[in-house]
Amino acid sequence: MVNDPKILLADEPTGNLDSVSTQQVMDKIDEINTFDRRTVIMVSHNAAHLSYAHRVYYLKDGLIVREVVNPQRKQIKPVREGETIVTELEQLARLFPYDSVDTLRVKSMVNFLTQDYTYRQLTRLEHAIVLFIKGKIDREAFIKSLILPYEKGGVEVPEAEAKKMAGITEKLISQSDDIRRFRARKDNDDIFFSQDKLAERLRDHLVGMFHIRLTKEQNSNLVELIADRVTGVIEEDQFNQTLMQTVKNDGLGLDEKEADELTRYFEKIIAQGVDVSYKS
């Protein structure tokens, strides 16, 4: 800045920084652009930075393959009428910055065919769930945030559906907390006793959730399956397949639809209850 440049080039300026330092650097870059009126050209692989830019250019092999105008920022470069149109693809591009335009179109179509809510509503829903999981809002506030019209900052979900979502979320949180507490004590001497107790509690929850009537042998088999899955002895596919096997083969004899639904729900509990870290 000593020579008062009109253009600043920032090549991965936050590449090796922690989250706090990254935020400070990005805020400073935004300040230089907004108040000092300097043009900033930044190279980044972090999708979280896209919201700062007026325009995003995607490059492949040195060539610009896509230009996206950020509708959330006032454009300095004039945009001729009809030259560009803001669509759902721009929002998807921020969520999936490395996908091609064709892939984004497919995602948009799949969302329409399988979801009752738009990506904007889902983003709002994610934010509300984060607050609920962290205990920053209670059940009533969570439901209210879902019911509120979108224009007022809500998700705009029907009241009955919002209450259903809150109930399921509470149950998932409760059961996943049980798994988390168990795994935190995995080095204790009474781990096997705790493992059986945990599996029995999870068994009771699943049986009640799916209204399944089990024989004594099926109950025993399900407890064993749950214990093996929670401790990582078996993977999701094996858990699912065993649910469909006969009782004599340590299964429950469920049909494919029942097994798939139970597995899908149980995996959500495990995903919430097991602490993992991923290398970037």
The last residue of a domain, from among 105, 127, 157:
157
Return per-residue pLDDT of the chain as tens, 280 residues: 567 788 988 898 988 888 889 889 999 998 988 888 888 999 988 777 877 888 888 888 888 877 777 766 777 766 665 455 556 777 777 677 767 778 888 888 887 877 888 888 988 999 999 999 888 999 999 999 999 999 999 999 999 999 999 999 999 999 998 888 887 776 555 555 578 889 999 999 999 999 999 999 999 999 999 999 998 899 999 999 999 999 999 999 999 999 999 999 999 999 888 765 444 3
Residue 107 lies in a domain: no
Residue 100 lies in a domain: no
Residue 190 lies in a domain: yes
Q: What tokens does 112 get?
A: 């329409």
Distance separating alpha carbons of residues 210 and 191, to the nearest angstrom: 28
Residue 28 lies in a domain: yes
Q: What is the pTM of this model?
A: 0.66
Residue 245 lies in a domain: yes
Q: Are residues 134 and 61 in the same domain?
A: no
Q: How many domains does the chain have?
A: 3
| Cα–Cα distances in angstroms (integers) from residue 74 to residues 39, 54, 70, 129, 157, in the given order | 14, 7, 8, 30, 30
Distance separating alpha carbons of residues 81 and 86, to the nearest angstrom: 12
Q: What is the widest separation between alpha-carbon atoms in the chain? A: 81
Q: Which domain holds residue 263?
A: 176-273
Q: Are residues 186 and 258 in the same domain?
A: yes
Residue 104 lies in a domain: no
CATH number at residue 18: 3.40.50.300
Q: Are residues 182 and 236 in the same domain?
A: yes
Q: Are residues 186 and 138 in the same domain?
A: no
Residue 211 lies in a domain: yes
Q: Are residues 184 and 267 in the same domain?
A: yes
Q: Are residues 136 and 194 in the same domain?
A: no
CA angle 106, 111, 114 (to 5 degrees): 120
Q: Are residues 185 and 269 in the same domain?
A: yes
Residue 162 lies in a domain: no
Q: Which is it for strands 7-11 and 63-69: parallel, antiparallel or unpaired?
A: unpaired
Distance separating alpha carbons of residues 13 and 26, to the nearest angstrom: 9
